[in-house]
Amino acid sequence: MSWEQALPMIFLGLMGLSMLVYVALDGYDLGVGMLLPRASDAQKDVMIASIGPFWDANETWLVLGVGILLIAFPKAHGLVLTALYLPVAAMLIGLILRGVAFDFRVKARAHHKPLWNLAFFAGSGLASVAQGYMLGRYITGFAEGPEFAVFAAAIALALPAAYVLLGASWLIMKTEGELQAQSVRWAKQAWIPVVVGMALISIATPWVSQTVRNKWFVMPEFIALLPIPLMTAVALVLARGLLNSHRVLGKLCWAPFALVIAVFILGAFGLAYSLYPYVVMDRLTLWQAASATNSLAVILVGVAIAVPAIAGYTVFAYRVFWGKATELHYG
Amino acid sequence: MDPLILARAQFAANISFHILFPTITIALGWLLFFFRWRWLKTRDEGWLASYRFWTKVFALSFALGVVSGITMSFQFGTNWPGFMERVGNIAGPLLGYEVLTAFFLEATFLGVMLFGHNRVSERMHMIATFLVAFGTTVSAFWILSLNSWMQTPTGYEIVNGEFHVRSWIEVLFNPSFPYRLAHMLLASGLTGSFLVAGVSAWQLLRGTPHKGTQRALRTGITVAAILIPVQIFVGDQHGLNTLEHQPQKIAAMEGVWQTERGAPLLLFAWPDAAAKENRYVVGIPKGASLILRHDAQAEVRGLNEFEGQHPPVAPLFFAFRLMVGVGMLMLAVSWTTVWMLRRRAWVAQQLPRAMLGVLSAMSFSGWLATLAGWYVTEIGRQPFIVYGLIRTAEVASKTPASHIALTLAAYLALYAVLIVAFISVVRYLAEHTEDSEALPAGSGQAIAQTAAAAGQGARS
């Protein structure tokens, strides 16, 4: 493979990675946001403290993902964002509400606090539903028709459920006492719609897309790919089993979160396999959509230096706030 | 309604809302770094109190800047899909480097800076504070380079309608970039310093100062008094640079309809686009020629030379006068305050109440001047998106007008609420400083106790 062909692939990989990291990291933030109304006032503070130092940087992965789409695949960028105009606007309004509510709620006068809590919840919910809907539209290459609308609507509900499961698992890891026990119950409740949603989507995707059907249901690929759904199922069942065990409140508090993250990674693998080599399903391959080689090479230098650095100081930040969440103070 | 106008209104609404907050955070980041450094050097509680108070305003501004910035990164594609298709090879890497070198840096270390004081060493915390301030400035570097390239494009070649880079150095350091970067960083410095001075003055007026209010006021107004003459000089240089590269922008700013020798400097006028002339003119004879060409008889090129290729006159004409007016006011207020402070042994509390009132009223004056300045530069580039090369109408999205109108209404409503909320919360914080005073002085032990107490509270 020549350098001209390899560069777009590298950037497709980077874009996929950024989006996956975004979904995994902001996923727990958004999940915690959606759980907020179900907690007591003191619990709300701890829940928000658990995501306080991170949400900002987590959201930056979305900027990187859409940035790479913009930089490396400008033709796809225009096509995708024009097709998703309204849900993108809905997501952005949701993310704005969530982000500002986080900061306003601790600084505004006390009787405004419930209002900002509501904005935090509504923003998280709106952003998650919009992201799910966009994913659903994207997988089918923005195909029009009632079956595609139902498909997108199903993902619009399934993705928020997955975020709630991830958020609850995050809280199991980062909190203790009553809130932690509560989070285990939340995780159990979210587990059912996640499993149903994933099963339905796995069946529906090949059903609505000829391309996906042809990629999965042929021999020997079918056998080679079997580990992906199997491992997903094992991770989900294992997570559910753990939630019943009291050890999840102690030493194994990190395990449900790790397992749900594993489910997200496996899902991303499956999705990436289904889509490749398209950037927009059935319409635009990565090579058709790519920028000039010169420009990609220039960014690659920056990526090669910056991404390891970003990974390094992200790990540093998570280590600084390692362990159970405590109340946050500006200081 | 015309979808192009709607798309422009939407992008303008978002970018105007967005720029308010980086304008604060770029400068405030460095002021916080200064407060922090003074506290480490002197161990004077006042500096720590200033740091703590302004950290909250910083965090709020930062969050508003981040969320509106994310919106912008999407609106490049939703509103101007053709822009990226045509100049993606140039704009893409510049935006990419902004994300890679600035966004992650500031966002990640912001967490450590805001909440990590009792979890990392003093030195590490200083480094985190520095990296946040540094990140905001680096971000300004990249985005202003791109904006300047759109104003004065160089270092490119066009192949099949697509732009390719010929020289990255020429793209990055295009002719208007050094001026625009300096002008914007100084604008940020003035916005931040007037905000700090103004809010501190408000606290003194309302009788709610914290231990560091006097220091903050002195720091703010001193920085402002130093920066404003520099800004006036840089602004003039920026104008001369614009005259060289975008003469029609200057013609619109000065309301010069016909090329003339010895053009007057208009203090006020009502530009009439239909008649292509100015009404109700109050001007200084030969002033524009003198300022722009440093020669009273020199020729100033008029809009008649740029038929169909010049921006609308009225918005530029008035926005420019608003910016310059606020700048002059800043000069008068900052120098008067410094002079008064000198005569009062630098005790801010001794300032006349009227002066404190004027300072408070100027709290957000930087916003006015910055917005007005950006309107001059951005509307002044019209009808082009890349000056002289691509017209804005060519790259606009094909999205139905109804969709744009709907989302525009939603954004406008949200932004209006958020601006009101931001200003009210800053005011509320300024009047309720006892919260920041009550904090333990950064000892890990004390924080741990508070947290444990809070944890028990949650359990019971």
Domain that holds residue B46: 3-245+312-453
Binary contact (B164, A294; C-beta < 8 A): yes
- CB B408, CB B10: distance < 8 Å: yes
| B201 in a structural domain | yes
| A141 in a structural domain | yes
Packed helices B104-115 and A55-72: angle between N→C axes, nearest 10 degrees = 180
| B304 in a structural domain | no
| A270 in a structural domain | yes
| B174 in a structural domain | yes
Partner-chain residue, chosen from A53, A89, A107, that has the shortest CB–CB distance to B115: A53
CATH number at residue A202: 1.20.1630
| A329 in a structural domain | no
Partner-chain residue, chosen from A78, A93, A306, that has the shortest CB–CB distance to B82: A78
Binary contact (A82, B90; C-beta < 8 A): no
Q: ∠ CA(B433), CA(B438), CA(B440), 5° rounding?
A: 135
Q: How many residues are given for chain B? A: 460
Residue A176's pLDDT is what? 87
| A183 in a structural domain | yes
ipTM: 0.82
pLDDT digits (tens, 9 = 90+) for B166-197: 889 999 999 999 999 999 999 999 999 999 99
Q: Give rounded-to-5 percent helix, strand, coil for chain B.
A: 75, 5, 20
Partner-chain residue, chosen from B81, B97, B451, that has the shortest CB–CB distance to A78: B81
Arithmetic mean of pLDDT, B30-49? 92
Binary contact (A329, B115; C-beta < 8 A): yes
| B374 in a structural domain | yes
- Radius of gyration of chain B measured on its C-alpha atoms: 24
Contacts of A268 (CB under 8 A, 6+ apart): A16, A19, A20, A23
Domains contained in chain A, number? 1
| A327 in a structural domain | no
Domains contained in chain B, number? 1
Task: Answer whether residue B294 shows pLDDT above 70.
Answer: yes
Binary contact (B442, A331; C-beta < 8 A): yes
Residue B444's pLDDT is what? 36
Residue B182's pLDDT is what? 96
* Average pLDDT of the residues of chain B: 87
- CB B145, CB B184: distance < 8 Å: no
Q: In which band, very low, low, confident or very high, does the pLDDT at A26 lie, cut at 50, 70 and 90?
A: very high
Residue B276's pLDDT is what? 83
| B345 in a structural domain | yes
Please report where in the chains the tokens 């020549």 appear, as a residue.
Answer: A2
| A18 in a structural domain | yes
Residue A330's pLDDT is what? 67
Task: Answer whether residue B338 shows pLDDT above 50.
Answer: yes
Packed helices A3-35 and A146-174: angle between N→C axes, nearest 10 degrees = 70
| A326 in a structural domain | no
Q: At residue A163, what is the residue type?
A: Y
Binary contact (A100, B64; C-beta < 8 A): yes
Q: In which band, very low, low, confident or very high, does the pLDDT at A170 lie, cut at 50, 70 and 90?
A: very high
Residue A281's pLDDT is what? 80
Binary contact (B116, A63; C-beta < 8 A): no
Q: How far apart are CA B265 and CA B321, in angstroms?
A: 11
Task: Answer whether residue B445 shows pLDDT above 50.
Answer: no
Write out residues 14-53 of A within 8 Å (CB-CB) of B.
40, 42-43, 45-46, 52-53
* Average pLDDT of the residues of chain A: 88
Q: Which of A62, A176, A295 to mutate to test the interface with B (most CBs of B within 10 A)?
A: A295
Arithmetic mean of pLDDT, B398-413? 89
Domain that holds residue A180: 8-320
Residue A240's pLDDT is what? 92
Arithmetic mean of pLDDT, B313-337? 94
HSE of A179, CA atoms in CB hemisphere, 13 A: 34
Alpha-carbon distance A137 to nearest alpha carbon in chain B (angstroms): 16
- Helices and strands in chain B, H and E counts: 17, 8
pLDDT digits (tens, 9 = 90+) for A127-149: 999 999 999 998 888 888 888 88
Q: In which band, very low, low, confident or very high, does the pLDDT at B135 lie, cut at 50, 70 and 90?
A: very high
| B293 in a structural domain | no
Arithmetic mean of pLDDT, B312-340? 94
